[in-house]
């Protein structure tokens, strides 16, 4: 059993290292810079004076964006926008630097959404790209433009399945995710993780330390 546990933890660590390396890579840096420029342009071209986000204060839990707006308040508006687009939203979680307190005003807002009626993915490269673009548009934070980056968005069943397979993003959500909106599902997810933790005899302290760089 000890050897099986050691192998599980080592596999998780390798996945974290791979993801961390990708985040620090040249392509990611270029992509991030391009997205920031596009976001600035979109704010200028599609500015909506009716969209008002509170100003950031020293008590703001998730920090501010580069315009000094409170991220948590902006995300509450974002949830309303998702619902207005007819998504059946169950849970919205903030991950990454915003959740872990290492954010900067220019930091992206990494978000995972657990939702029932996401557009299906395509089956070949062309349809995957087209459906991916449609999904990205539907999940975008326009017209707020906070810098929301969605990833790992899925249904309740898919999220629980990812936990079963010790997916690092699902685990990161359990350990570090900050809940912005929840209809009660998140308690189910946490309870499922506790069962998995007991089954595999996972070391909670070590696992949390491994997941910190994600």
Strands 148-150 and 109-115: parallel
**Sign of the alpha-carbon torsion through 98, 101, 102, 106:** positive
* Confidence (pTM): 0.93
Phi, psi of 191 (to 5 degrees): -65, -40
Q: If DSSP codes are grouped into helix, strand and coil, which group holds residue 55?
A: strand
Which of the 8 DSSP states describes residue 184? S
Alpha-carbon separation of residue 87 from 139, 164, 169, 189, 194 (angstroms): 9, 25, 22, 20, 29
Which residue matches tokens 């920031």? 36
Give the per-residue pLDDT at 212.
Answer: 95
Q: Tokens representing 123?
A: 């089956």
CA dihedral 188, 190, 196, 200 (to 10 degrees): -170
Return the H-helix or E-strand segment holding 179: strand 178-182
- Taking each helix axis from N to C end, the angle separating 168-176 and 204-211, rounded to the nearest 10 degrees, works out to 110
> In the sheet that 89-95 helps form, which strands lie side by side, from edge to edge?
148-150, 109-115, 89-95, 178-182
CA 188 to chain centre: 19
Predicted confidence (pLDDT) per residue in 25-70, tens digit: 888 889 889 988 999 999 989 888 888 999 999 889 999 999 999 9
The CATH number of the domain covering residues in 2-211: 3.30.460.10
Give Cβ neighbours of residue 73 (< 8 Å, ≥ 6 apart). 53, 54
Give the per-residue pLDDT at 1.
Answer: 54
Q: If DSSP codes are grouped into helix, strand and coil, which group holds residue 13?
A: helix
Q: What residues of the chain score a pLDDT lower than 70?
A: 1
Give the per-residue pLDDT at 65.
Answer: 96
Q: Tokens representing 114?
A: 């657990």
């Amino acid at each position: 059993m000890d050897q099986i546990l050691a192998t599980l933890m080592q596999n998780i660590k390798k996945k974290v290292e791979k993801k961390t390396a990708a985040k620090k890579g040249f392509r990611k840096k270029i992509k991030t810079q391009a997205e920031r420029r596009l976001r600035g342009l979109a704010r200028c071209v599609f500015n909506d004076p009716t969209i008002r986000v509170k100003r950031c204060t020293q008590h703001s839990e998730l920090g501010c964006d580069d315009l000094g707006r409170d991220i948590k308040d902006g995300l509450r508006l974002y949830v309303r926008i998702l619902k207005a687009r007819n998504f059946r939203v169950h849970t919205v979680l903030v991950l990454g630097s915003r959740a872990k307190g290492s954010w900067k005003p220019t930091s992206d807002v990494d978000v995972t959404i657990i939702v029932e009626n996401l557009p299906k993915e395509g089956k070949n490269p062309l349809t995957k790209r087209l459906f991916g673009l449609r999904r990205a548009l539907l999940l975008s934070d326009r017209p707020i433009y906070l810098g929301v980056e969605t990833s790992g968005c899925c249904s309740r069943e898919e999220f629980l399945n990812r936990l079963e397979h010790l997916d690092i993003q699902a685990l990161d959500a359990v350990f570090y995710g900050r809940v912005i909106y929840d209809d009660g599902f998140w308690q189910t997810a946490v309870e499922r993780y506790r069962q998995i933790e007991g089954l595999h005899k996972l070391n909670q302290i070590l696992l949390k330390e491994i997941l910190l760089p994600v």
